[in-house]
Structure 1
Amino acid sequence: MKIQNSFRLLTVSDYSRLKPFFNPLKYPLAIYSLSSLIAWNNELNPTYYTMEDNLLLLMTAGTLPEYPKCRCLLLPLSPFREVTPPELAELARRHCLSTFCFIPESYVEHFGLSSIRTLFSLTEQPDYSDYIYLKKDLTELQGKRYLKKRNHINYFRRIFLETGRTTIEALSPVNIPDTLLFLDRWCAKDSRCNPETDPNLGQESQAARLMLENLELLEARGIAIRIDGEVCAFGIVTSLTDKIKVLNFEKAYSHIRGLYQFLDRECACRLFEDVEFINKESDMGIPGLAGSKKSYFPVNRVRSYKLSLLNGKRN
Structure 2
Amino acid sequence: MEFHHFEMKDKDYINSFFGEHHYQQCDCSFNTLFLWQHAYSTMWAVEDNILFVRAGRGDMAYFMPPFEGKGASFVHGLEIIRKHLEDMGKPFRLMGASPWVVEQIKQLCPGKYEFEEDRDDFEYIYKTSDLIRLPGKKFRMKKNHLNGFLRTYPDYVYEPITHENMEEVKQASAEWFKRHGDIEDEEYSIGLCFDNWDALGVKGAVIRIYGKIEAFTIGDKMNDQVAHIHFEKANPEIRGLYQAINRDFILHEFADTEFVNREEDLGVPGLRQAKMEYNPDHFAEKYNVVLAGTLGK
- Whether contact under 8 Å (1:56, 1:77) holds in the other structure is yes
- The residue that corresponds to 2:19 in the other structure is 23
**Counterparts of 2:77 and 2:94, CA distance in 1:** 8
Candidates 82, 103, 128, aligned match of 1:93: 82
Q: Compute the displacement of 1:81 (Å).
A: 6.2
Identify the match of residue 168 of structure 1 among 141, 145, 158.
158
Q: Does 1:126 align with 2:144?
A: no
- Matched residue, 1:135: 128
TM-aligned CA deviation for residue 251 of structure 1: 0.6
Equivalent residue for 1:56?
A: 51
**Among the aligned pairs, what percent are the same residue?**
27
Q: Would you say the 8 A contact 1:135–1:276 is kept in 2?
A: yes
The counterpart of 1:35, out of the listed 21, 31, 38, is 31
Is contact 2:36–2:189 with CA below 8 Å preserved after alignment?
A: yes
Query: What CA distance in whole angstroms lies between the structure 1 residues aligned with 2:127 and 2:238?
Result: 27
8 Å Cα contact 1:92/1:309 also seen in 2: no
Q: Distance in 1 between matches of 2:51 and 2:105?
A: 23
Whichever structure has more helix as a proportion of its residues is 2
C-alpha spacing 1:78/1:114, structure 2 compared with 1 (3 Å): closer
Q: TM-score, normalised by structure 1?
A: 0.84
For the aligned residues, what is the CA RMSD? 2.2
How far 1:145 sits from its partner (Å)? Answer: 1.8
**What is the distance in 1 between the residues matched to 2:27 and 2:40?**
13
**1:105 touches 1:303 (CA, 8 Å); kept in 2?**
yes
TM-score, reference length from structure 2: 0.89
Q: Does the 8 Å CA contact 1:131/1:293 hold for their aligned counterparts?
A: yes
Q: Which amino acid aligns with 1:149?
A: K
Q: Does the alignment pair 1:72 with 2:62?
A: yes
SS for the counterpart of 2:125 is strand
Cα-to-partner distance string for 1:52-85 (whole Å, 9 max, x where unaligned): 222221111257xxxxx5211112224536853x
Report the Cα offset of residue 96 of structure 1.
2.6
Q: Secondary structure at the match of 1:9?
A: coil
How far has the Cα of 1:12 moved from its partner?
A: 4.0
Counterpart amino acid of 1:51?
V
Is contact 1:24–1:242 with CA below 8 Å preserved after alignment?
no
Residues 103 and 135 of structure 1, relative CA distance in 2, 3 Å threshold: same
Gaps of 5+ in 1: 64-68, 195-200
The CA deviation at 1:260 is 0.8
Q: CA deviation at 1:183?
A: 0.7
Q: Secondary structure at the match of 2:40?
A: coil
- In the alignment, the residues of structure 2 paired with residue 121 and residue 88 of structure 1 have an alpha-carbon distance, to the nearest angstrom, of 17
State the partner residue of 1:197. Answer: none
- More deviation, 167-176/292-301: 167-176
- The aligned counterpart of 2:89 is none
1:208 aligns with 2:190: yes
- The 3-state SS of whatever aligns with 1:92 is helix
1:106 maps to 2:89: no
Of stretches 22-31 and 294-303 in structure 1, the one that deviates more from structure 2 is 22-31
User: Is the Cα contact below 8 Å between 2:49 and 2:72 reproduced in 1?
Assistant: no
